[in-house]
Amino acid sequence: MKVLGISGSPRRGGNTDTLIHTALEVLTAEGLQTEFLSLADHPVKPCTACGGCGKAEEPCCVTEDPAFEGMIERFMAADGILVGSPVYFGSATPETMALLDRVGYVARHHNFLRRKVGAAIVVARRAGQNFTFAQLNYFFLISEMIVPGSTYWNVAFGRQKGEVTGDTEGIETVRTLAANMAWLIKRLVD
Ligand SMILES: Cc1cc2nc3c(=O)[nH]c(=O)nc-3n(C[C@H](O)[C@H](O)[C@H](O)COP(=O)(O)O)c2cc1C
């Protein structure tokens, strides 16, 4: 049983990274395998709407993009996908959406996200978090994924790197989410 934890922040070591690591620590303690993926290290190009993924054996036709290499395989190998994004102008980051657009469109043709567990974590300085949280959940739900909850929506607040650790309710919400994700995956995966 494995969870892929993706930080969609372009800022290494920032608040989103912290929240994803917080969740992965709980999942590891629950006995699941985890992988952390930073899109700061893998700045994938956006989908070009060529439609190649619907026709070809190749999973995606945007070639010459080393950052995308292995992404489809990572999603396929995971039982759970955790996606974290900072709020940028009321939305998820372009890095986050570039990855989700491309993997999601391939998955629509090859149907490999169905019944995996998906969860979103969002960090904001002040506002826009609810829209961004919904934006990421739209992705999971159209992909036939199953979404666990927490004691609040999975949102935490902070601006400068590390500030999010001061949001104790946000951190606790993320830890509960991770525990519920582990509980769900254990029941879905034999
Ligand atoms: C381009 C840009 C746009 C942002 N837009 C918003 C916003 O709409 N609402 C908000 O509350 N914070 C906004 N922020 C603040 C970030 O969401 C906040 O600093 C967050 O902690 C960054 O996460 P990170 O440390 O993982 O990069 C914005 C930051 C940047 C750089």
pLDDT per residue over 154-181, tens digit each? 999 999 999 999 999 999 999 999 999 9
Residue 101 Cα to ligand 1 middle (Å)? 21
Q: Of all protein residues, whose CA lies closest to atom 6 belonging to ligand 1? A: 88
CATH number, domain with residue 155: 3.40.50.360
Which value, to the nearest 10 degrees, does the dihedral of the CA atoms of residues 59, 65, 66, 68 take? -50
Range of the domain at 67: 2-188
pLDDT per residue over 75-92, tens digit each? 999 999 999 999 999 999
In the structure, which protein residues have their CB atom closer than 6 angstroms to any atom of ligand 1? 9, 11, 14-16, 86-90, 123-128, 158-159, 161
Residue 13 Cα to ligand 1 middle (Å)? 14
Q: Number of structural domains, the chain?
A: 1
- 3-state SS, residue 183: helix
pTM of the model: 0.97
pLDDT per residue over 7-45, tens digit each? 999 999 999 999 999 999 999 999 999 999 999 999 999
User: Position of tokens 């190749």?
Assistant: 58
